[in-house]
Structure 1
Amino acid sequence: MGKYEYTINMEREGKYDMSFDALFEQRILVGKKLKDCIRDSGFTKISFSKKADISRPTLDRLLSGTVDNKSTFDRHIQKILNVLNMTVDQLLSYRPVGEVKKIGAVYSLNAPPEYSMDEKAKKQYGLLMDVIDLCAIYY
């Protein structure tokens, strides 16, 4: 994908018509779309940054839209698009695979009334909840 001239026509009939050079002006939108693409592709931020050869802090700045240097932005977006095998138009028109419904807990009330969890099970449950909390950090 090379740099070329173009005009920006945002969301015309549900499609974006934007060239690579104009992405910097829409970096917040680009960051939101990238975050969805990366998540839906099954990557964590760490695994994606390694695959794209981008530092984790730089990836975070790209995803939040806070990169303030156009050449840095262009260079890293090019790497990201290559890893995702996407064009600019595909990125900007990307829709998340599905909305994730957040569920606090799933449980069944079929245990006997006198049942109580033993200490080993409580410890294992606590560890499992810690792992889930750690995973939430990446998304």
Structure 2
Amino acid sequence: MSMSVPQGGGGSEPEPMMEMNMTPMIDVLLVLIILLIITIPKQNHSVNLNMPVGTPPPSTVEPVVVTIDVDFDGTISWDNQVIPNRQALEAKMAQVGAITEKDQPEVHVRPNKLVPYKVVAGVMASAQRLGVAKIGMIGNEQFQ
């Protein structure tokens, strides 16, 4: 075993260190990561729903169904009768919304595959705003 001894006199200055000390920087980054992990809020992947309890009694009366068709060019029909404008559609929806929720007819919206989304969204927004509680989309198999 040998030991290397630097050559030269003892009066020479040591050479400066050319490498950066990474240990303090790594320590600071680890502390920051731990703080970030601690402060992130817990993610909830659940939706709270009020589901009915038990089996409901069978309905004695068949529900009344209103079908709203939205054609590819934005034409809206109410039970196969063309609605001339948005005000007429909203008047019919207001009549449905005025009925108590228990006796309200079911409103089925059947959009065409080529209709712009904003037309269908407008129909559904009007229904929600005017108090239509029983609304659903039908004909979704055409989008698969």
Q: Normalising to structure 2: TM-score of the pair?
A: 0.20
Greater strand content: 2
RCO higher in 1 or 2 (8 Å CA, sep ≥ 6)? 1
**Greater radius of gyration (CA):** 2
Greater helix content: 1
Q: Normalising to structure 1: TM-score of the pair?
A: 0.20
